[in-house]
């Protein structure tokens, strides 16, 4: 990524009082190793696999979803797995053959941290993530979340840069240039809003 774009992303996080740390090679390798460790542990947890599988919606091959289809992420929207298994990507489907693709040798990884770990910090992190993601999208970047290491308390603690030691890492991002992902359906406005007149 160009330095100017990295600066914009860092500035977007700072506007929400959060710190985006775009990692150099050693930091990226450390965070990817923690992510792989967490993914291996999570993959062995049957309850977590069942929950994750419940987020998905199977669709017949080659057919678009029916109007008013059930909630959930369509399996066609899941990205590929790393053919070389260097980037730990969760197999959300957890069944059958998985589409693989050759990823970059070392992805650009960033951590988003806040000063503390309170509800206000979580909100701040969400606002910073929104801002970073919008700037990235405007600059033609693709962003994905590597959430595994944040899900486990011990790997989450170790995500913090041992040299800077700033705050609490709230999210790990993989950022770079790549093809767009598949679109996912949205619920209609009528499903989400109530008419104040009471008609609905």
In tens, the pLDDT along 129-141 reads: 999 999 999 999 9
At residue 200, the pLDDT reads 53
At residue 190, the pLDDT reads 82
pTM: 0.79
**Is the confidence at residue 6, as pLDDT, over 80?**
yes
> Does 198 reside within a domain?
no
- Nearest partner of 109 among 198, 8, 27, judged by Cα: 27
pLDDT in tens, 58-79: 766 555 555 555 677 777 776 6
Q: 148, 88 in Cβ contact below 8 A?
A: yes
- For residues 34 and 139, give the distance between their C-alpha atoms in angstroms, rounded to a whole number: 29
Q: 128, 12 in Cβ contact below 8 A?
A: yes
- Of the two residues 198 and 37, the one the predictor is more confident about is 37
CB-based contacts of 137, cutoff 8 Å, min separation 6: 143
> Does 33 reside within a domain?
yes
- For residues 184 and 69, give the distance between their C-alpha atoms in angstroms, rounded to a whole number: 12
H/E stretch holding 101 reads: strand 100-101
- pLDDT confidence band for 181 (50 / 70 / 90): confident
DSSP SS3 for 126: helix
pLDDT in tens, 189-198: 887 787 777 6
At residue 186, the pLDDT reads 77
Q: Residue 40 sits in which domain range?
A: 3-59+72-180
> Does 176 reside within a domain?
yes
> Does 84 reside within a domain?
yes
**Is the confidence at residue 13, as pLDDT, over 70?**
yes
- For residues 36 and 28, give the distance between their C-alpha atoms in angstroms, rounded to a whole number: 12
> Does 192 reside within a domain?
no
Neighbours of 171 (CB within 10 A): 21
At residue 93, the pLDDT reads 55
> Does 190 reside within a domain?
no
What's the mean per-residue pLDDT of the chain?
83
Q: 58, 75 in Cβ contact below 8 A?
A: yes
Query: What's the CATH code of the domain at 45?
Result: 3.40.109.10
Give the pairing of strands 73-74 and 56-57.
parallel
Q: Please give the tally of structural domains in the chain.
A: 1
**Is the confidence at residue 96, as pLDDT, over 60?**
no
At residue 118, the pLDDT reads 97
DSSP state of 79: P
At residue 85, the pLDDT reads 58
> Does 43 reside within a domain?
yes
> Does 123 reside within a domain?
yes
- Of the two residues 47 and 79, the one the predictor is more confident about is 47
């Amino acid at each position: 990524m160009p330095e100017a774009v990295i600066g914009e992303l860092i500035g977007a996080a700072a506007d929400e009082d959060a710190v985006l740390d775009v990692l150099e090679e050693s930091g990226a390798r450390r965070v990817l190793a923690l992510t792989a460790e967490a993914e291996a542990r999570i993959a062995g947890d049957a309850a977590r696999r069942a929950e994750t599988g419940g987020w998905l919606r199977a669709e017949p091959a080659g057919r678009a979803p029916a109007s008013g289809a059930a909630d959930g992420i369509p399996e066609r929207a899941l990205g590929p797995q790393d053919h070389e298994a260097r980037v730990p990507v969760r197999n959300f489907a957890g069944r059958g053959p998985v589409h693989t693709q050759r990823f970059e040798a070392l992805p650009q990884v960033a951590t988003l941290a806040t000063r503390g770990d309170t509800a206000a910090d979580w909100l701040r992190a969400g606002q910073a993530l929104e801002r970073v993601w919008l700037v990235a999208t405007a600059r033609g970047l693709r962003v994905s979340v590597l959430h595994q290491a944040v899900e486990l308390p011990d790997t989450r603690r170790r995500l913090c840069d041992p040299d800077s030691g700033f705050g609490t890492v709230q999210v790990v991002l993989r950022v770079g240039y790549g093809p767009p992902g598949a679109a996912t359906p949205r619920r209609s406005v009528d499903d989400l809003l109530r008419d104040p007149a009471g008609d609905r």
